[in-house]
Amino acid sequence: MLAQRMSSFSTSGTAKARVAAKAAAAAGRQIIDLSAGEIWCDPPEALRAGAIAAIERGINRYTDTIGIDELREAIAERLSTVTAKPWQADEVAVTAGGKQALFNAAMAILNPGDEVIIPAPYWSTFPAQVQLAGATPVFVETRANGYVPLIKDIRAAVTPATRAIIVNTPGNPTGAVFGRALLGGITELAIRRNLWIIFDECYGSFAYPPARHENIVSTLPQVRSRTLLVGSFSKSLALTGWRLGYLAGPAEVIAAARALQSHTTSNPNVIAQYAVLAHLKNDGGRFEQTLRARLSEARTRGLDILSRLAQVPRPLAQGGFYFYLDLSALLANKLQRGTFADADDIVRLLIERAGVAAVSGTAFGDPAGIRLSYGVPLEALERGLSAVVDALNHMSAGQRSAA
């Protein structure tokens, strides 16, 4: 009945986790949802004012397929500052969120039979969209190195069929931040082997010292002609439901994205475009600084609670707003008793016994990890993480008593 391509992937694991949390809540359970990849707060004041002004002005018509000129120019100006290289509006396409930017990139540069290198654990949309374009994802393991790939492993994964490398930093789900030396190694490899780099920096606003986020183009300017930048306002401005992101890269790729988008979604939401434009013109980065400070406080408090875990190492959480827990030791012991097979079982236990929703690492190619968001209100975060610690430590105690 269905097209053959549908056998390659299913609904994203993060979406499934949200559905499970809502189902438990609908059944009358008190659930603390730490599964969602979003920040619970009001949008910026300047952005809200911009949206209201656009509505009152009757702005409800089509825009240019890839966004209004003023917004694309504002994004290009921001990229020029960040990368220290000039960008123009014809090198920017505004999209319906970061996912559409990634989809446009995959469809514009990948052919059937191509291979795309993806560090694992990975955001589940990366391999799904590579497969939609008819290409093959090739995974490079990072778990033994703090969820940061080694350049030698990336080099070893390159074959004559390799077309691109996806770089996501700060990373979803792990929160790992790629250092300048690694980014430089990737750019040199891309230039030498004539590869594309798809650089997803949707969490770029959130890196915590001593980690520091850097745009890959700033490490080696010559790589710009081989790089597609993917950005999103969903995270940095807490606008997940507004669906606004962008793709930036060579003008010919953006022209291809324009053609593709004209046959898929047409222009992104017009009110969201004018709202974000108003924010970029009037806020001066104040909201982003306030949001980063709030998440930094939540991260500090969360790490303090997670330090009480008995058999699970405290996560580094260098960037983004996720705690990614490595349950390898816990699961290894449990497997000997045949109780839990993988992180899916742990996630089910957390909903049933702790009343906390998390995302299983199986969604990210890692059967021994779970992702917990700290983008929720601090009080909910503290209660949720404390319940997680109690549940996992109870499992550890059970192992010791059984031994």
116 in the same domain as 226: yes
For 232-285, the three-class secondary structure string (H helix, E strand, C coil) is EHHHHCCCHHHCCEEEECCHHHHHHHHHHHHCCCCCCCHHHHHHHHHHHHHCCC
> How many domains are there within the chain?
2
pLDDT tens-digit map of 142-160:
999 999 999 999 999 999 9
189 in the same domain as 301: no
Give pLDDT, residue 333.
76
Check which CATH number belongs to the domain holding 17 and give it: 3.90.1150.10
Domain boundary among 247, 267, 283: 283
Give pLDDT, residue 102.
97
* Domain membership flag for residue 399: no
243 in the same domain as 213: yes
pLDDT tens-digit map of 186-235:
999 999 999 999 999 999 999 999 999 999 999 988 999 999 999 999 99
291 in the same domain as 244: no
Domain boundary among 233, 268, 283: 283
Q: Where are the beta strands (DSSP E) in 126-187?
A: 136-141, 162-168
318 in the same domain as 252: no
54 in the same domain as 37: no
* Domain membership flag for residue 403: no
* Domain membership flag for residue 227: yes
Give pLDDT, residue 16.
63
92 in the same domain as 29: no
305 in the same domain as 228: no
* Domain membership flag for residue 378: yes
52 in the same domain as 17: no
* Domain membership flag for residue 178: yes
Check which CATH number belongs to the domain holding 117 and give it: 3.40.640.10
Domain coverage including residue 176:
45-283
Give pLDDT, residue 387.
97
Rg (CA), the chain: 21
Give pLDDT, residue 337.
56
Domain boundary among 283, 316, 349: 283
Give pLDDT, residue 332.
85
DSSP class of residue 221 equals G
Residues 6+ apart with CB under 8 A from 252: none
Q: Where are the beta strands (DSSP E) in 121-261?
A: 136-141, 162-168, 196-200, 227-232, 245-248
* Domain membership flag for residue 402: no
Ordered mean pLDDT values, 10 residues apiece, the chain (403 residues): 75 63 66 92 95 96 97 97 94 97 97 98 96 97 96 98 98 97 97 98 96 94 95 94 96 97 95 97 93 97 97 96 96 68 91 94 96 97 97 76 48
* Domain membership flag for residue 401: no
326 in the same domain as 251: no
* Domain membership flag for residue 294: yes
pLDDT tens-digit map of 362-377:
999 999 999 999 999 9
Residue whose token pair is 């968001």:
373
CB 269 within 8 A of CB 47: no
Q: What is the pTM of this model?
A: 0.93
313 in the same domain as 168: no
Q: 62 to each of 66, 101, 277, how far by Cα in Å?
A: 11, 19, 16
Which three-class secondary structure state does DSSP give residue 120? strand
Q: Would you call the peptide bond into 160 cis, given omega within 30 degrees of 0 as the criterion?
A: no
297 in the same domain as 267: no
Backbone angles phi and psi of 158, in degrees to 5 = -75, 130
Q: Which of 243, 287, 267 is nearest to 47 (CA)?
A: 287
